[in-house]
Amino acid sequence: MDANFKCGFAAIVGKPNVGKSTLMNAILGEKLSIISPKPQTTRQNIKGIYSDDTRQIIFLDTPGFLQPRYELHEKMRSIIQDTLGNADVVLFVTDAPHFPTDYDKEFIEIIKHIRAPRIALLNKIDLVEDYTESMVLLGKSFDQVLPISAKTGTNMDKVLDLVSKYLPYSPPHYDPEDLSDQPMRFFAQEIIREKIMLNFKEEIPYASAVIITHFRELEDKVDIEATIWIERDSQKPILIGKNGSMIAKIRTAAEKDLEKMIGMKVFLHLFVKINKNWRKNKHALKELGFQ
Ligand code: GDP
Ligand code: MG
């Protein structure tokens, strides 16, 4: 094994909707982490693995820090703390059109106490004319600052080079062919959730959770069963739609994405169930897979 090979963990943190998932997808060139215009889409860590001849970077895509209004949000905070504890470098993503929000300032204070080296990525520079001031401000709290656009791909190679500077010399942890250590059923869950996010306004996306109950890979097809948990009886007809039109739309769109990813025919069966206040109930959260 090459003694100059580097391998380590880079945690991506920042406010919801700044473009963390887009960044990871731009780097990996795969739709690993779901993206939608609504904040808080990402509820769990996703490890995306970038490998080339000289390095392997394992990215942790975290949900943002949030107000602990719901039990779920406290879960997210503890996930973030665990993630940062294991990282060799922390990437703080913020968006140029809105920087600095109060939230940004608070966030910067919180991560000042992290031991790992910190890189600030000023994202969405395609949307602003001048970002000099933001760069100066970020420069005061970070080891490195880089302007990027995850959407257009600007400076993605520089992100990789900056991160590599801080990685330890180590052989790769994962097979260089792997893009993620997440099982395919996890992606199925994420893709279904993305379709719910994209097809409904406020209420339904935040009231729902998706759990894969059955995932079977056969020779030429994959059979998947999933339950969509919602909070109230009144949400059921909305989610299902007139004559089942909405749920069919979600199913078809999810099947299409999954087929692209898996490279096989996918048969998806969706069930809708009610679990009142699943968000506030620790036991229910565990049952739903937020361990
Ligand atoms: P996350 O919550 O931080 O993971 O944010 P997402 O990656 O889900 O992105 C939120 C929204 O910002 C999506 O609509 C993205 O398309 C958009 N977005 C992300 N990066 C950029 C960028 O560099 N430029 C522009 N214009 N939009 C971006
Ligand atoms: Mg995200």
pLDDT, greater one: 256 or 43: 256
Answer yes or no: is the C-beta of 41 below 6 A from any ligand 1 atom. yes
| DSSP category for residue 116 | S
Mutate to test the pocket of ligand 1, among 25, 28, 35 (most ligand atoms within 8 A of CB): 35
Going from N- to C-terminal start, the domains of the chain cover: 6-165, 184-287
Q: Which ligand is nearest to the CA of 24?
A: 1
Tell me what pLDDT residue 256 has. 94
Q: What is the C-alpha to C-alpha distance for residues 270 and 249, in angstroms, rounded to an integer?
A: 11
Tell me the CATH number for domain 6-165. Answer: 3.40.50.300
Residue 130, pLDDT > 60, answer yes
Q: Is the CB of 17 under 6 A from ligand 1?
A: yes
Q: What is the DSSP string of 18-87?
A: SSHHHHHHHHHTS--S---SSTT---S-EEEEEE-SSEEEEEEE-PPP--TTSHHHHHHHHHHHHHHHT-
With bands split at pLDDT 50, 70 and 90, how would you rate the model's confidence at 200? very high
**Of the options 3.40.50.150, 3.90.10.10, 1.20.1260.10, 3.30.300.20, the CATH number for the domain spanning 184-287:** 3.30.300.20
Residue 238 predicted with pLDDT over 80? yes
pLDDT at 246: 96
Taking the centre of ligand 2 as the mean of its atom positions, its distance from the CA of residue 18, in whole angstroms, is 8
Tens of pLDDT, residues 6-48: 999 898 888 778 998 889 888 887 656 655 555 545 555 666 8
Residue of 26, 70, 96, 1 lying closest to 280 (CA atoms): 70
Looking at residue 237, its pLDDT comes to: 95
The average pLDDT across 110-120 equals 81
Joined together, the tokens standing for residue 40 give 């808080």
Among 42-46, 123-127, 190-194, 206-210, name the one with the lowest average pLDDT. 42-46
- % of the chain with per-residue pLDDT over 70: 79
Instruction: Compute, in angstroms, the gap from residue 197 CA to the centroid of ligand 2.
Output: 12
pTM greater than 0.75 (yes/no): no
pLDDT digits (tens, 9 = 90+) for 142-172: 999 999 999 999 999 999 999 999 999 998 8
Q: Do domains 6-165 and 184-287 have the same CATH topology?
A: no
